[in-house]
C-alpha cells in the first residue's frame, strides 16, 4: 500500500555510497561537532557492511538538513566497534527538540560488537523548514554510522484474498485457524503451556484475544495460546497485515510471524526453509518493535541475522498495524505503514532466500524464554492479553 521516498541519506564519517536497496547516501554532510572514525573489522548482520565502516562520534554532535514542513520517518544505523559489554556506551538522540531515544545501548541490543543495528524513529514533524538531530553521550561518546529520512507515498492498491475480521464470538474460525498445543520448554525455553482452551484463545467483542495466564494448568505455572493458518491461509508473495494491541509487562513476548507451509522445503531443520517475523515485542523493552528474517545463511547462531527495529511507545495501549510486503526480490516491513526494515534477495541460492515458497501466519503470546525472559518474568501481572482486530492477506 505504501512505500517510501528517501529525501536525505548520509553516510556518517564516510564517502558517498549506494546501498543494495538503491538508496544513495551522500558523503558525510550537515553535521556540527564530533569526529570521524574508520572501522576495519567485518560488520555482520547487514546487506550493506560498507555503510558501517565509518562513523561520527563525540560527547555531543548534531545533524541538520533543510526539509519542507511535513511528517517524516528517521532511520538511524549503528555498529558498536569498541566496547565489549552492555552498559559501557549509552547515548540519547533528540529529534526536533524532543528526546526520542533514551540511553541507547547498541552493544546490548545488537548482541555483539561489529554487528549492525538499525532503528526507526517514526512520525517526526518538521514545522520550521529544517530537521535537527542531536546525539548526546550518557556513558562514553555517542556514535552514528548512517541516517536515512523518508516520506511515505502511495504505491497502488492490493487485492484482498484471505482475512479474518474476528466479527464473531467464541473459538477462532476452524476453517482458517489451527491450534498449537505444546508443553512448556517446547521452544526457546519458554514457560507457557499452549492450549486450545477458551481461557487462552477466544474471539470476543470483535477481537481475537490470546491470553497468558498464571494458573498452574496441567501442572504448568503459565498457560497461553498460539494459533496458525497452515494449509488454511497460505501466501507466496503479497502483503500480510495484522492490527493488534500488545500486552505490557516483564516476561511477555508476543509475536506475529510466518513459517513455511512445507517445513522441509529446504532441508529438515530450522531455519533452512526460512522464518519471517513481522512483529516481536519483549515486555522489558516496552515500545521497541522488531522485525526479523531467519534463514540458513543469516541467523542469530552465526551472528549474521538480519533485523530492524522501530520505536512506538504506545504499542501496549493502542492498536497498531503490523505488515510485511513480499515479492521475488525483497521484503519490506511496516508499522502503521511506516517502513523500517528491508530484506533483499541476494540471489545466492536457497540458503539466503528460501522465501520462494508459501508461508502461513502464526499469532502467539509466549511467556519468558531466552529473549522474553531475559530480564525475568514478573509473577504479579497476569493475566495479560494480545488483542488482534484483524488479519488480512493481499496480492497484487
Q: Which of 80, 96, 211, 280 is the catalytic position? A: 280
CB-based contact 209:200 (threshold 8 Å): no
CB-based contact 146:25 (threshold 8 Å): yes
Neighbour tally for 123: CB within 10 Å: 13
Q: Please give the grid coordinates belonging to residue 146.
A: 548512517
Question: What is d(CA 176, CA 43) in angstroms, rounded to the nearest whole number?
Answer: 42
Among candidate residues 54, 108, 152, the one with its CA nearest the CA of residue 309: 108
Question: What is d(CA 308, CA 45) in angstroms, rounded to the nearest whole number?
Answer: 10
Q: Which of 80, 275, 286, 387 is the catalytic position? A: 275
- Per 3-state DSSP, the chain is made up of helix, strand and coil in percentages (nearest 5) of 5, 50, 45
List residues bridging with 159 in a β-sheet: 395
The dihedral built from the CA positions of residue 25, 28, 29 and 30, taken in this order, carries a sign that is: positive
Question: What is d(CA 391, CA 393) in angstroms, rounded to the nearest whole number?
Answer: 7
CB-based contact 56:144 (threshold 8 Å): yes
How would you classify the pairing of strands 24-27 and 2-11?
Answer: parallel
Among candidate residues 310, 305, 304, the one with its CA nearest the CA of residue 281: 310
**C-alpha pair distances (Å), 225 with each of 14, 188, 202, 234:** 48, 16, 9, 20
Among candidate residues 300, 324, 304, 310, the one with its CA nearest the CA of residue 1: 324
Give the angle subtended at the CA of 67 by the CAs of 64 and 69, to the nearest 5°. 125
275 among known catalytic residues: yes
E strand or H helix that includes residue 388: strand 384-395
- Phi and psi at residue 298, to the nearest 5°: -130, 100
Enzyme catalytic residues:
275, 280
Amino acid at each position: 500500500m505504501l512505500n517510501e521516498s528517501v529525501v536525505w541519506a548520509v553516510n556518517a564519517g564516510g564517502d558517498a555510497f549506494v546501498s543494495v536497496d538503491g538508496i544513495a547516501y551522500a558523503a558525510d554532510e550537515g553535521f556540527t561537532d564530533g569526529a570521524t572514525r574508520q572501522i576495519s573489522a567485518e560488520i555482520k548482520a547487514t546487506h550493506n557492511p560498507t555503510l558501517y565502516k565509518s562513523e561520527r562520534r563525540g560527547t555531543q554532535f548534531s545533524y541538520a538538513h533543510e526539509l519542507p514542513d511535513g511528517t517524516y520517518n528517521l532511520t538511524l544505523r549503528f555498529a558498536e566497534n569498541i566496547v565489549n559489554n552492555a552498559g559501557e556506551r549509552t547515548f540519547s538522540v533528540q529529534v526536533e527538540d524532543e528526546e526520542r531515544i533514551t540511553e541507547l545501548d547498541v552493544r546490548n541490543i545488537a548482541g555483539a560488537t561489529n554487528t549492525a543495528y538499525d532503528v526507526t524513529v517514526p512520525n517526526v514533524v518538521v514545522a520550521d523548514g529544517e530537521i535537527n538531530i542531536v546525539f548526546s553521550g550518557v556513558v562514553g561518546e555517542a556514535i552514528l554510522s548512517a541516517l536515512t529520512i523518508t516520506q511515505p507515498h502511495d504505491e497502488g492498491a492490493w487485492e484482498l484474498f484471505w482475512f479474518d475480521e474476528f466479527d464473531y464470538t467464541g473459538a477462532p474460525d476452524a476453517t482458517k485457524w489451527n491450534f498449537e498445543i505444546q508443553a512448556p520448554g517446547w521452544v526457546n525455553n519458554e514457560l507457557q503451556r499452549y492450549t486450545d482452551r477458551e481461557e487462552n484463545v477466544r474471539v470476543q467483542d470483535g477481537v481475537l484475544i490470546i491470553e497468558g495466564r498464571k494458573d498452574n494448568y496441567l501442572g504448568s505455572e503459565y498457560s497461553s495460546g498460539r494459533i496458525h493458518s497452515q494449509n488454511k491461509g497460505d501466501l507466496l508473495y503479497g502483503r500480510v497485515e495484522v492490527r493488534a494491541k500488545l500486552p505490557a509487562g516483564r516476561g511477555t513476548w508476543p509475536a506475529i510471524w510466518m513459517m513455511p507451509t512445507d517445513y522441509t522445503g529446504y532441508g529438515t531443520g530450522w531455519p533452512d526453509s526460512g522464518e519471517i517475523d513481522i512483529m516481536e515485542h519483549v515486555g522489558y523493552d516496552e515500545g521497541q518493535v522488531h522485525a526479523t528474517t531467519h534463514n540458513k545463511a543469516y541467523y542469530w547462531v552465526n551472528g549474521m541475522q538480519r533485523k530492524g527495529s522501530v520505536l512506538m511507545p504506545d504499542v501496549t495501549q493502542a492498536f497498531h498495524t503490523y505488515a510485511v510486503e513480499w515479492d521475488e526480490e525483497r521484503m519490506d516491513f511496516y508499522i502503521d505503514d511506516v517502513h523500517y526494515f528491508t530484506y533483499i534477495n541476494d540471489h545466492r541460492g536457497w540458503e539466503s532466500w528460501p522465501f520462494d515458497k508459501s508461508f502461513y501466519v502464526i499469532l502467539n503470546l509466549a511467556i519468558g524464554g531466552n529473549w522474553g525472559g531475559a530480564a525475568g518474568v514478573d509473577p504479579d501481572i497476569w493475566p495479560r492479553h494480545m488483542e488482534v482486530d484483524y488479519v488480512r492477506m493481499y496480492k497484487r
